[in-house]
Structure 1
Amino acid sequence: MPAMTRQMSLGLSMRYLGYHAAAWRHPQVDPGGASDFRHFLRVAQLAEAAKFDMVFLADGIGIRAKDEPPGSLCRSAQTAELEPLTLLSALAPMTSRIGLVATASTTYNEPFHIARKYASLDKISGGRAGWNIVTSWSDAEAQNFNRDAHLDYGTRYERAGEFVEVVKGLWDSWDADAFAVRDKESGIFFDADKLHVLNHQGKHFKVKGPLSVARSPQTRPILVQAGASEAGMEIAATSAEVVYAVPHELETGRSYYADLKQRTAKAGRSPDGIKIMPGITPFISATEAEAREKYDLLNALVAPELGLSYLYAQMGDLSAYPLDGPVPEPNDPRVRSIAQNLLKLARRDNLTIRGLYTTIAAGFGSRILIGTATQIADEMQAWMEAEAADGFNICPPALPIGLEDFSASVIPELQRRGIFRKEYEGTTLREHLGVPVPASKYS
């Protein structure tokens, strides 16, 4: 493909040991890595050496996996991990340029907590922090916070919208030069005219402020959002600078991209101030056949009990059916629309039950790409040129080996085409992404 001028943004999703359900069983992967700081340090430093914009830690505040069918939970590596903000704060002084982004729930936190923690991470890292806004979705999380089930959908998103506005207001508590005084002789520590008290009173929150952390090095941490719902897209259009997306087809990606950019403009923001980054899980080698061998190797390590657990909520208990037989009609599905989409996929591609669960288990829902570095780069560039993406959230199947493959082969190919940086030009995550500095609500 000919070179294009628009620069691509790249994030690295580094949760657990990779996005393939069987990553922990790969012979080159340390099965204890998800609880080992040294594993994440290596991953973050590899990503920084490759000049990624940021590393990203998704999070859930509970073990979402269930023992359905029985015997599946003990085979899942999605059961023990490190708390993201603690981990990113430890990684901050061990890195110098790469952005540090983590998820935090608006349902089971308070705005002052989030504003304070992310502002502190931004100060510690020199302007590299980002907050991925989620509302939480599983009852397992609710049951860890004095609830039997979640708040209803509408309430969760209404609360989230107000939550984000409160956090942004708290981040504006201090002007950038409020502490420039610090005059030992006069005894004046800060300029009182440059302190702003929020005094927020809303339906869900009453927060006086001000925030007890000075203004962020990048004015405020980067806001990230991943919802594709109507309510989620409105929060993204109003506040987010990065949006993670999961379209699998180019036309779906283009439609989502155009919709969100239009919403952003309608909210009074520049559409260029929001970066849409679909998730991809790449399997890469010198030939397409060798790349498929890598894919097949990991798929063969998915225990049937674990594989069936990825279909349980959507398709019901399929453990009584032959794994290499056809996918039956959904058996009492909890989410009927997803069940029908999975059945349609299985029949379109002539997938067995085993084939369907390995397709899902290979990337936790992200789009799978299998091929050479040139083929992967071609696909990424095509989505950029079609205005279906501003960049990508890379979700390696296994870590750190999947990152090593991508950095050694795809990154140089993107750089050769002139669509990805060879060196960092700025020091903050906001500068890497090229998104504008937001004005203070008091300016």
Structure 2
Amino acid sequence: MSGKQRELHLGLMFWATGTHTAGWRYPGARSDGAFDIGFIQEVTRLVEDAKFDFLFLGDRLATDPALAKTNPAQMSRMEPFTVASAIAAATSHIGIAVTANPTYYDPYTVARLTASLDHLSGGRAAWNLVTGADGAAAYNFSRDGHWDTEKRYDWADEFVEVVRDLWDSWEDDAFTRDKSGGRYIDESKLHTIDHVGEHFSVKGPLNVARPPQGQVVLLHAGTSDRSRELGAREADVIFAGQPDLESAREYYADVKSRAARYGRGPDEIQILPGLSVVVAPTTAAAVQVYDRLNALVPLDPEHETVDSVRFGGLGQGLKRNLASVSQVLGVDVTDRTIHDPVAQEVFDGSGDAGRKVFAGITATTRRTVAGPEPITYFDLINGITVGSRTVVGDPIEIADHIQLWFEQDAADGFNIFPDFVPGSVRAFTELVVPELQRRGLFRIDYDGTTFRDHLRLGRPGNRHRGPGPALTEPN
């Protein structure tokens, strides 16, 4: 880490149809961009021009037609390493984070893919390590079922160790390429890893030269104890999802303290919560965008329960109807008209969960019960399903929120979730980024060309440096 002051980090979660359920329906949004590499490159250049740290490419190893309603961006998309290679060819500085699930990969393949991407991009690759929350993937990989958390993390712990050893199996100066002497490599600087563990037996070496970054940037996400421990030990960037400032500060402090136990400084690991931003030149205009997005999401019949709504394979969600609102509030409102103002007695009779919903609605829409712009029952439907990590406002208000979390040690930056693409991306880069730069929170230009440069991380030494075992058979 350099002696410079702490600096905000920004990533973009790329979902081609937007991260809002109805983002693809918003006027001007692309609904067909998932398989248009020119469009994907265009969006990446928008955030590279704004000096973002990275673009994030998620992945799922299964699909479900039900996602067409709740999360079309995760229903069908291209394989991320293929997309990342095309992005690398069209950009020069931005980091490119690619998801690979160790539960359904092998270490040699991931080491080879990530090292190759690092070379193609000139040192801008990152591996997002996820252990997989969607059990449906198991049936696409000849498994009887998805492993439990403990087995997945036992597997992942050893997996990372093998990948890191493979990245280092060539020393940086192993390639002599001596034309006059006819010596292409210095074999003493090429290392087998001879790994024999509980889950893997890998001889090595990797058949790709050491990555330009030495070790490819590692990302991780999760809230379980095993996830926090893996992230604190291995990750350079952690994606977080805490819903409020207090819980985010607790998570931030916990992970940083765990990292310290592994001899890592607080600047060696960056914690970036996801953040959905609806921004416009004025607050009123931003609220209009937010309302219009939510109006594009179909309602569910009142007789349907909460059991069958799927969000990206990551759990169950609430149905969009007054029955679900009644369940959350603890007050029966199934006989109300959705666009009518909420009655005061409904607010008064709501439990703690309901009061949190009302508070969230006021934060995003500025509407209140019995106010000049009253909360409606439709607002309640949106309030129980949209979530609390959406920030709506003008550039000053958005920057205020980001700065508060940054300065209160709840975040080192954010992974920005664009509700619709490319409009949300363009609005954030044109309105919010200049305000963050004006405040001295975000870079004006890149300091280097690699992802590790953006994170202010040094290039690690090679763990195998020195005499290595001779190769006794072809590899």
- The reply to whether TM is greater than 0.5 is yes
Deviates more, 1:245-254 or 1:115-124: 245-254
How far residue 284 of structure 1 moved from its aligned partner, in angstroms, is: 0.5
The aligned length equals 420
Question: What does the per-residue CA deviation read over 1:246-265, in whole Å, with 9 as the maximum and x for residues that have no partner?
Answer: 11211111111111111111
Question: How well do the aligned residues superpose, as a CA RMSD in angstroms?
Answer: 2.7
Q: Which residue number corresponds to residue 14 of structure 2? A: 14
Residues 136 and 146 in structure 2, CA contact (< 8 A), matched pair in contact too = no
For residues 306-325 of structure 1, the aligned pairs below 5 Å read: 310=309, 322=322
Residues 324 and 354 in structure 1, CA contact (< 8 A), matched pair in contact too = no
How far residue 140 of structure 1 moved from its aligned partner, in angstroms, is: 1.6
For residues 28-427 of structure 1, the aligned pairs below 5 Å read: 28-63=28-63, 66=66, 76-179=72-175, 181-305=176-300, 310=309, 322=322, 326-327=326-327, 345-346=353-354, 348-350=356-358, 355=379, 358-359=382-383, 362=386, 367-427=389-449
Equivalent residue in structure 2 for 1:433, among 444, 455, 461: 455
How far residue 5 of structure 1 moved from its aligned partner, in angstroms, is: 4.3
Q: Give, in whole Å, the separation in 2 of the partners of 1:134 and 1:311.
A: 19
> Which of structure 1's runs of 4+ aligned residues deviate more than 3 A?
64-67, 72-78, 305-319, 321-325, 343-348, 350-362
SS state at 2:183 partner: coil
Structure 2 counterpart of 1:348, one-letter code: K
Q: Give, in whole Å, the separation in 2 of the partners of 1:385 and 1:356.
A: 32
Residues 107 and 136 in structure 1, CA contact (< 8 A), matched pair in contact too = yes
SS state at 1:55 partner: strand
Structure 2 counterpart of 1:301, one-letter code: L
SS state at 1:265 partner: helix
Residues 199 and 208 in structure 1, CA contact (< 8 A), matched pair in contact too = yes
Q: Give, in whole Å, the separation in 2 of the partners of 1:117 and 1:248.
A: 34
Residues 60 and 74 in structure 2, CA contact (< 8 A), matched pair in contact too = no
How far residue 355 of structure 1 moved from its aligned partner, in angstroms, is: 4.8
SS state at 2:141 partner: coil
Q: Which residue number corresponds to residue 338 of structure 1? A: none
Residues 20 and 398 in structure 1, CA contact (< 8 A), matched pair in contact too = yes
Q: Which residue number corresponds to residue 335 of structure 1? A: none
Structure 2 counterpart of 1:388, one-letter code: A
Q: Give, in whole Å, the separation in 2 of the partners of 1:200 and 1:329.
A: 55
**Alpha-carbon spacing, 1:253–1:106, altered in 2? closer, same or farther (3 Å):** same
Structure 1 counterpart of 2:441, one-letter code: I
Stretches of structure 2 lacking an aligned partner (at least 5 in a row): 331-350, 362-375, 466-475
**Alpha-carbon spacing, 1:66–1:426, altered in 2? closer, same or farther (3 Å):** same
Question: What does the per-residue CA deviation read over 1:158-203, in whole Å, with 9 as the maximum and x for residues that have no partner?
Answer: 0011101110110010111111x11123221111111111111111
Deviates more, 1:47-56 or 1:35-44: 35-44
How far residue 16 of structure 1 moved from its aligned partner, in angstroms, is: 2.9
Deviates more, 1:365-374 or 1:247-256: 365-374
Question: What does the per-residue CA deviation read over 1:11-36, in whole Å, with 9 as the maximum and x for residues that have no partner?
Answer: 11112321100011111112111221
Stretches of structure 1 lacking an aligned partner (at least 5 in a row): 331-342
Structure 2 counterpart of 1:258, one-letter code: A
Structure 2 counterpart of 1:358, one-letter code: N
**Alpha-carbon spacing, 1:415–1:28, altered in 2? closer, same or farther (3 Å):** same
Q: Give, in whole Å, the separation in 2 of the partners of 1:5 and 1:285.
A: 30
Question: What does the per-residue CA deviation read over 1:226-266, in whole Å, with 9 as the maximum and x for residues that have no partner?
Answer: 11111111111111100010112111111111111111110
Q: Give, in whole Å, the separation in 2 of the partners of 1:323 and 1:59.
A: 33
Residues 323 and 353 in structure 1, CA contact (< 8 A), matched pair in contact too = no
Residues 105 and 133 in structure 1, CA contact (< 8 A), matched pair in contact too = yes
Q: Give, in whole Å, the separation in 2 of the partners of 1:104 and 1:366.
A: 28
**Alpha-carbon spacing, 1:183–1:328, altered in 2? closer, same or farther (3 Å):** closer
Identity %: 44
How far residue 147 of structure 1 moved from its aligned partner, in angstroms, is: 2.0
Residues 62 and 136 in structure 2, CA contact (< 8 A), matched pair in contact too = yes
Question: What does the per-residue CA deviation read over 1:139-165, in whole Å, with 9 as the maximum and x for residues that have no partner?
Answer: 221111112420122101100111011
Structure 2 counterpart of 1:327, one-letter code: Q
How far residue 73 of structure 1 moved from its aligned partner, in angstroms, is: 5.0
TM score, norm. by length of structure 2:
0.82
TM score, norm. by length of structure 1:
0.88
Residues 311 and 357 in structure 1, CA contact (< 8 A), matched pair in contact too = no
Deviates more, 1:350-359 or 1:417-426: 350-359
**Alpha-carbon spacing, 1:42–1:323, altered in 2? closer, same or farther (3 Å):** farther
Q: Which residue number corresponds to residue 344 of structure 2? A: none
Q: Give, in whole Å, the separation in 2 of the partners of 1:317 and 1:385.
A: 34
How far residue 292 of structure 1 moved from its aligned partner, in angstroms, is: 1.0
Q: Give, in whole Å, the separation in 2 of the partners of 1:356 and 1:63.
A: 30
